[in-house]
Amino acid sequence: MVFWTAIAIVRRVNNDTKITFIKEDPWRIFRIMAEFVDSFEILSQVGPGVTVFGSARMLPSNPYYQKAVTLAKGLARNKLAVITGGGPGIMEAANKGAAMIKGKSVGLNIELPHEQKGNRYANIPVNFHYFFSRKVCFVKYSIAFVFMPGGFGTLDEFFEVLTLVQTRRIPEFPLILFGKAHWSGLLKWMKERLEPGDFISPGDLDLVTVTDDPQHAIDIVLDYERRVGPPEIMPKAFA
């Protein structure tokens, strides 16, 4: 019944508009729906995971690449899936670390004109066309988030997840900024500009932990898993 109602709406919209891309929008809903159905089906079988964000441009010679490998190894040894954007750089490093010890190495890859090619270390690859459906999957199947040094994409993901935690749309999962030298300037600016101006509340910045030590990050995640674990009910963001 729902399907045929949707078809009727599509036909009516197509008859009422002359703009080509708008006429295509109702049909695009089915592509979006299929992307969610496929990804949910795969990721719901993975178990608790930790998403590692970071630059696609990081070379294997960079110390942060090596630390991402070490971090992912430690998470995978503790039966946690390692989830990344599936591309090169830090994403490759984290997938590599998990795959090296035969852990669950998830790559949520997306079609981009530059930079993004799927790395060979993701043993559970999921491909996306839409950024928004990919972002849902990063958050929906993770119990912690590690933000390695990165650019606009990493900043986007950091602020989006931080906002979801701050507004209590998802539980207070560990949010770990890895690399004090990289993140200290941003945190200083937020402390000096956002907090005194009442743009954020006192204590909001305490939602974030900063570290340079892979084992410290692993310990934070494991402590959360032991004390709290995966949410028992669906977070409001996805309900």
pLDDT digits (tens, 9 = 90+) for 62-83: 999 999 999 999 999 999 999 9
Residue owning tokens 């990165």? 150
pLDDT digits (tens, 9 = 90+) for 127-152: 999 999 999 999 999 999 999 999 99
With contact defined as beta carbons under 8 Å apart, do 151 and 114 qualify? no
**The CATH number of domain 49-227 is 3.40.50.450:** yes
Task: Please list the residues that pair with 110 across neighbouring strands.
Answer: 128
> Is 80 exceeded by the pLDDT of residue 16?
no
Three-state secondary-structure class, residue 154: helix
Measured distance CA(49)–CA(82) in Å, rounded: 6
Q: How confident is the model at residue 169 (pLDDT cuts 50, 70, 90)?
A: very high
Averaged over 88-117, what is the pLDDT? 91
Other beta carbons less than 10 A from residue 208's beta carbon = 18
90-100 vs 63-77: helix axis angle to the nearest 10? Answer: 40
Question: Which runs of consecutive H residues, i.e. helices, occur in the chain?
Answer: 2-16, 20-43, 63-77, 90-100, 131-140, 152-166, 180-189, 214-227
Averaged over 195-220, what is the pLDDT? 97
Q: How confident is the model at residue 111 (pLDDT cuts 50, 70, 90)?
A: confident
Averaged over 14-27, what is the pLDDT? 63
Q: How confident is the model at residue 113 (pLDDT cuts 50, 70, 90)?
A: confident
pLDDT in the model for residue 203: 93
Measured distance CA(147)–CA(90) in Å, rounded: 10
pLDDT in the model for residue 19: 56
Burial string for 123-162 (b: 16+ CB within 10 Å, else e) reads ebbbebeeeebbbbbbbbbbbbbbbbbbeebbeebbeebb
- Rounded to 10 degrees, what is the CA torsion of 66, 205, 223, 142? -70
pLDDT in the model for residue 147: 98
